[in-house]
Amino acid sequence: MPRFEEIFQAGKIPLYLAPMSGFTDIAFRELCKEHGADVLVSEFVQSEPLIRDRERTWRDVDFTPEQRPMGIQIFGANPDSMARAAALLETRLKPDFIDINFGCPARKVVEQNAGSGLLRDLPLMEKIARAVVDAVPATCVTAKMRLGWDSHSLVHIDAAKCLEDAGIRVLAVHGRTKSQGYSGEADWEKIGEVVRAVQIPVVGNGDIRDAETAVRRVRETGVAGLMVGRGALGKPWLFAQIKNALRGKDAEPGAGTPTTEAVFSTLLRYAETLAKTRGDTGTENIRWLLARLHPFTYGVPGGKRIRAELSSCTTLADLHALLYA
């Protein structure tokens, strides 16, 4: 298995699946990998539950060998706890990289002075990064961040430089501030400024919803990689479409565009795999996973009807009957 950083040295643009709480579970990562995602990252987990050996948290970061190169994303505000959690991950799971979350804007994370809350305290951010880097000398440490707390306190250049100095080897930048959340448009001009300010690979993130946009962002900014988040929900084939577009004149027309039958087949397989993660045999109530299926129904014939009737499904058999009614 090549070292993780080597994916940036092959003259290609690696495509990441962004970590998204409640969505980038082991089943969805599997789908995205099949459709061309080069790098996968776990849903983010807090450092303390890992240290306390909480079974559910360790289950959330589990992955299969086929999903490599695979990273595990952690968050927290205590350098010692973050370092201990990283060391445990390195020992038990041996991920290809450990990613530090400095970008999550969720209130429950920011109130702990974690995630994007650390954009208000760059010295502590750097201390956390150094602690994790020192704790896992055999593992690449990466980070994801935003541009700043709000439009009046942009710190993307200073934050990127301090993380590079702390030993972070790849940096993903979401082109929004904490205050923006997921509203407005991602500022790729600012992402380009980070690319030019540091020597480490920079991965751009924000509003990559189609292949044409992806190609344009690479050309405009010079990013070393692209991270696809919400644009891939219900569209794991977006990765194949982007790869096809990046090939330019050698691209295959229509590559990566699924038929309605392929969409339904993928949706069903995803639901079945999700059910298996809880040990379901197919007869158990599947209402808990239905919200994850909604994105697959957009843009397909009968999609509006399917969404309206999804809530009536209680088993996998019900779901199959709905799709093929």
Give me the residue label for tokens 């750097």. Answer: 126
In contact, 225 and 16? CB cutoff 8 Å: yes
In Å, how far are 79, 114, 158 from 121, measured between CA atoms?
13, 10, 11
* Residue 163, both tokens: 């993380």
Is cis: bond before 69, omega within 30 of 0?
A: yes
- Is 104 tagged catalytic? yes
282-295 as b/e, with b when 16 or more CB fall inside 10 Å?
Answer: eeeebeebbebbeb
Helix axes 316-323, 260-277, angle to 10 degrees: 170
Half-sphere exposure for 142 (CA within 13 Å, toward CB): 24
Catalytic residue selected from 32, 104, 140, 313: 104
Nearest to 37 by CA among 241, 198, 185, 201: 241
DSSP-derived secondary structure for 270-297: HHHHHHHHTT--SSS--GGGGGGTGGGG
Q: Among positive and negative, which fits the CA dihedral 106, 108, 114, 117?
A: positive
Catalytic residue ranges: 104
